[in-house]
Each structure stands twice: as structure tokens, then as C-alpha cells.
Structure 1
Amino acid sequence: MLKITDPESYHKYVAYVKEHYTPLHSHLYEFNKDVFAPSFRCVVDKKEDLLSTIVEIYPQIYSWELFTAEFCYEFIAEVRHFEKWCMENDIEKRLPNSMNNYGVVLGDFGFYDFLQQLMLEYIKPITTILYPDVGGDSLDYHHSFIVEYALNKDLCLDFHVDASDVTLNICLGNEFTGGDLYFGGIRCAWCQQTPPLKEEEIGVRHEPGHAILHRGKHRHSAQHIKSGERINMIMWCMSSRNQQTPLDECPTWCGNYYK
């Protein structure tokens, strides 16, 4: 089996995949604004305020329709195609993170540049306005992956914070019930274990094609899925500048700062 054990073997792995993997939908790998839902594509084409389509569903949590149903369908098919290719060719499929047991890392089979362009050209202008205090105005790299929830896969995800400055969570599908996101307060590293206040707790329902944008340190969990399968694209967006800034004390953006 082709395995990843260190940075050198990872580079060899990516090169091998690039040379030998034949995409199912090759057009997906080159960014095109046609992937955007009509409402978002409209403001993009007219160079209008990108925030005009975004709804603040709770303080510091935003949502809008981002991708078309066709793109979501084809992207899921591409992920399935890659997973099948890995299994048939005895190729290691990296898990997306330390918490999820199902899914893929999108940079492993060619989607890093696509998502980098999405982040820099369309997400960063939004986060520059919404999250400048945590590096939203200087995002420059990402870790992006697919997570999968179903009755025979991961059922839920425990309460946690992300290893990101800003997280973009896009539901691709399919049909499912349950699996809502639960949020429980923004916390810095000093205060992560403090209990959520009642007014900080909210459940957010996933809708295919829609994005949910939040701070990486906004504590959240994935509630139990009840039926069907939920597949999400997660982008952990990072700022080199913000990641390198030491956190010596509780910052003002922490929900526990004024307590």
C-alpha cells in the first residue's frame, strides 16, 4: 500500500495520485463561477456587496446559498470515484482530521488550488469585514476536506473547536434527517472548558448547497444523524499572521472575556 508517513512521502503520494488518478469530472478541478448558486453568482458578476446575500443566523454565525445542486451532485460523485480508486489500487486514503473517521482530504487529489481561489477571491472579502480580529483579513492557506455522516458511518461529532481561524462548512447533500450543528459559545484557548451560557446555545440546520461561516474557535458539535447521509465540504481557513501571534491572555473576542 502507498502510505504517507512524513512530508517527503506525502509529496510522493500527491505526485503519484496526480499521475495515475483519472478524474470522473475533470472540469471540476478548474475553478469556474458557474459553481455558484444564482443568488451568489448574481452579486459576484455585478461586483456588488458580497454580504448582501448573507444572513446572520446568530451573532457571528452566517449562512447563504453558495453552490448549485449540480455542482454538489458532481462533487460527491468525484469524491466517491476517488475513494473507489484508492480501494481498488490499494492506496491509502487520508482521514480528514483526528475526529472524523470517514471522508477525504481534498488537497490529496487536486482540489487545493480550486479551494484556494475560492477562499482568496470570494471568502476572504467576506471574512475581512466579519472577522478581522482573528485573521479574517489575512487568510492565506487552508485545510479542506469532506466529512460523511450516516447510520453506518460517523453518527455525530463531539463538542470542539476547529484548528482554523475561520471555518466554512458547506453541505453538499444528500437526503438526511438530524445532524444539525450545535454551537455553544466562542472561546479562546484559555477558556475552552468553560460551560456555555444559555444564550450562547443554538442549533443550525444543514441545507444542501448552503454554507455556514463561523469563527474557528466558535465551539460546536454535530448532532446525531437520524436517517440518510450527510456529506459536507469543510474549509479550515487560516492566516499565517494570526497563527503566529501568541495568545498571552484572554482576547476581547472570547465569549468569556467579560464574565
Structure 2
Amino acid sequence: MSHLKTKKFYVCSCFFYKNIFLKDYALHVEYEGDDKFIAQYESVFTQKYSVNLEKLKQEIIPFVRAEIDKRRDRGKLCLERCMYIEQNYKPLHTQVYTLDPRFLEPAFIQIVNYCKSAGSTKEGLLSLIKKEAPGRSYSFPVFTNEFCKLLVEELEYFEASPMPKDRPNTMNNFGLLLSEVGFDLRFMDPWRIEYLVPISRLLYPDCCGGSLDSHRVFIVRYKLGEDLDLATHFDNAEVTINVSIGDVFEGGDLYFGRMSQDGTAGLPKDYKWYKHINGTGLVHRGLQFHGAAPITSGTRYNLIMWMRSSQLRNKLCPMCNSAPQLEESIGYGDGFML
């Protein structure tokens, strides 16, 4: 992460007590002490999940506390893993760590070149991409099938290695943080800056699509016996791109609902499913509720980048909907900058 020496990014303090996901209950909770947690959630667990007070105290609250401790230690442990991996890991396919235009579909390069051209407009861009879910979700080809194959092979090789690994978040128990493996400097940074920001500038000017100055990028993996689906949620991002990189699976379609500002995660009557296509990216507002249906066979890999704008989130944290209370972090943090 030496490329970040000239910039310092932060997290909002709400990261340490809000949006903690309990997978067994498909429920996001917040924690500000045992007594407050019990007062806030006891009726939910007893009435909806038949969980008694003893189990709440002995199992659920300790799990929540452990997650908070993990978040507190995230920066230090991340740096330790990064240093160890950099010094000890020998990649299978070294070429996939550097963005090469040959990895990109010609149609994607055409779209980006249009977005960078003088006089480009949103209307002109929409003639080159496909509108998907309700709201402002769009798809377009990104990576070649050959690159997807090489990347999946590299990911599986790393997964089988003894290298230390952290998982993307509490919702995904399988997958990898690509910044820790060494993808940021030569691949993800230029992909965001040179290719994705020009597209976002036209599609999402109202959420600072042209000033996406940081990201969190990770791989999610779904297969039988592991994670199968994804509960309805929204992302800690201004703009998200989700690229399918593994095509040997069935099921796992995505669905999209309302924006989180609407105050409910429920799906509108006109919600729409999105079916993954290998190498194709789906771009959408991070704050749009979405989820994934269960996978029924094979293994699904997706590369997901949460793109953030410090210009926007310095004024309002999208996770607590308040002025951010900043705490120091490492790398790109959660995209806040002083």
C-alpha cells in the first residue's frame, strides 16, 4: 500500500458499531452495549426467530462483540497480511496483476473512449450500454473470457496456498480482498481512474461519479456447501461495479429494489432480476437495495468494486446518514479524507 503515502483516508466511527450482519438471521444490527442491544433487539429475536434471552446473551452478543473487535484491528492485521503476502507469495499468473488493455473487451474500450471524448453525453453513452434494473443500473462487456479464466485460476491457486486471508465482509464468508493480494497499484487503481470514472461521470453526476477517488475491491465466491445467496442489502459505496468472472454455475441471479433513502428494504412491484454473463459488468448506485438468489450448481465468482467519493461522503456518511466522525485508517479506509 506504499502508493497511498501522499493521501490519508479515514473511516467513520459508525463502522465500529453499525451494520453488523448476522448471517443466520439475515439481519443487520448495531451495538452500543449489552443493555441497549437487548432493549433494541430482544423482541425481534424472541418473536421472529424464537431465540430466548439466554441465547441472545451467550451466543449472539459475543459474536457481535467479536466482529467489532475484528473491525477495530482491521488496519493493523491488513498491513501484516499485505507484508507477509508480498514477501512470500509466488503467483501462478503474474500477468493478471497488471492491467493490460488486451484483458478488456473491445466494446468496453469503445465505451470508455466515447466517455473521454469531447462532447460526450449521458444519452450518447446509453446508446452503447444496456439498461438493467429499475433505477439506474446498466451492464456492458468488460473483461475477455481468457482473462476471466486466468484470474479465476490465480484466485484458486492463492486460496489453496498457506497465505493469510481475510474475507470481504460479514455477508460473504468466502472470497478475497484483492488489495491484500497485490492488485491495487497496477490493476485496480488504473481500472478505476482511467476506465470506470469516465463512465460514472456521465451516469452518476449527482453522486460525484467523476470524483471517485478510492475503492474497496474484492472477490465473492458462491458454491454448494458454502455461501449460496446474499440477503437484501445496500453497499458502502457511491457506485458499485459487479463483474461475473466465472461462467460454470446455475442460479445466483441478482435482484434490485428501492434506494436505501426510501427507508425500506422491501422490493417494489417492478423489481427486476439480472442474470450474470461472464466478463460483463453491472454498474449501479451503491445505495440501491439488492441481493442474490441461491446458486444451484457450480461455482460463481464475481469481482466487485465499491467506488467512493471523499468529496461526497466527507459531508454525509452513507452508512449512518450523519456527518462523519472520522477515525484514522490504512489504505483507502472507507473513502473519507480530511
TM-score normalised by the shorter chain: which range applies?
Answer: 0.7 to 0.9
In structure 2, the residue corresponding to 1:173 is in which secondary structure? coil
Q: Are residue 55 (structure 1) and residue 130 (structure 2) matched?
A: yes
Q: 1:198 aligns with which of 253, 258, 269?
A: 269
Specify the code of the residue in structure 2 equivalent to 1:104.
L
In structure 1, the residue corresponding to 2:240 is in which secondary structure? strand
Residues 233 and 290 in structure 2, CA contact (< 8 A), matched pair in contact too: yes
Residues 34 and 41 in structure 1, CA contact (< 8 A), matched pair in contact too: no
**Superimposed CA distance per residue, residues 70-120 of structure 1 (whole angstroms, 9 cap, x where no aligned partner):** 00000001111111113xxxx431001120011000001110121111011
In structure 2, the residue corresponding to 1:174 is in which secondary structure? coil
The residue aligned with 2:142 is: 66
Q: 1:209 aligns with which of 279, 296, 301?
A: 279
Instruction: Work out the CA distance in 2 between the residues paired with 1:101 and 1:139.
Output: 27
Q: Which has the larger radius of gyration?
A: 2
CA drift of 1:153 comes to 1.3
The residue aligned with 1:78 is: 154
Q: Are residue 39 (structure 1) and residue 107 (structure 2) matched?
A: yes
Instruction: Work out the CA distance in 1 between the residues paired with 2:203 and 2:110.
Output: 21
In structure 2, the residue corresponding to 1:67 is in which secondary structure? coil
Q: Higher relative contact order at CA 8 Å, sep ≥6: structure 1 or structure 2? A: 2
The residue aligned with 1:8 is: 76
CA drift of 1:240 comes to 1.0
> Could you tell which deviates more after superposition, 11-20 or 75-84?
11-20
The residue aligned with 2:7 is: none
Q: Are residue 170 (structure 1) and residue 240 (structure 2) matched?
A: no
**Superimposed CA distance per residue, residues 106-161 of structure 1 (whole angstroms, 9 cap, x where no aligned partner):** 00111012111101111101111111212212101111000011112111000000
In structure 2, the residue corresponding to 1:53 is in which secondary structure? coil
The residue aligned with 1:108 is: 180
Specify the code of the residue in structure 2 equivalent to 1:170.
V
Distance 1:30 1:239, change over 3 A: same
Q: Are residue 22 (structure 1) and residue 98 (structure 2) matched?
A: no
Residues 40 and 53 in structure 1, CA contact (< 8 A), matched pair in contact too: no
Alignment TM-score, normalising by the size of structure 2: 0.66
Residues 167 and 234 in structure 1, CA contact (< 8 A), matched pair in contact too: yes
Instruction: Work out the CA distance in 2 between the residues paired with 1:53 and 1:34.
Output: 20
Instruction: Work out the CA distance in 2 between the residues paired with 1:133 and 1:43.
Output: 21
Aligned residues: 240
Alignment TM-score, normalising by the size of structure 1: 0.86
Runs of 4+ in 1 over 2 A off after TM superposition: 3-10, 41-53, 191-197
Residues 207 and 312 in structure 2, CA contact (< 8 A), matched pair in contact too: yes
CA drift of 1:220 comes to 0.3
Distance 1:235 1:28, change over 3 A: same
Larger helix fraction of residues:
2
Stretches of structure 1 lacking an aligned partner (at least 5 in a row): 249-259
CA drift of 1:65 comes to 0.8
Specify the code of the residue in structure 1 equivalent to 2:155.
V
Distance 1:123 1:10, change over 3 A: same
CA drift of 1:196 comes to 3.2
CA drift of 1:13 comes to 2.0
Q: 2:294 aligns with which of 224, 227, 247?
A: 224
Stretches of structure 2 lacking an aligned partner (at least 5 in a row): 1-69, 323-338
Instruction: Work out the CA distance in 2 between the residues paired with 1:245 and 1:40.
Output: 33
Tell me how large the CA RMSD over aligned residues is. Answer: 2.2
Instruction: Work out the CA distance in 2 between the residues paired with 1:42 and 1:166.
Output: 21
Distance 1:236 1:119, change over 3 A: same
Instruction: Work out the CA distance in 1 between the residues paired with 2:268 and 2:224.
Output: 31
Specify the code of the residue in structure 2 equivalent to 1:169.
N
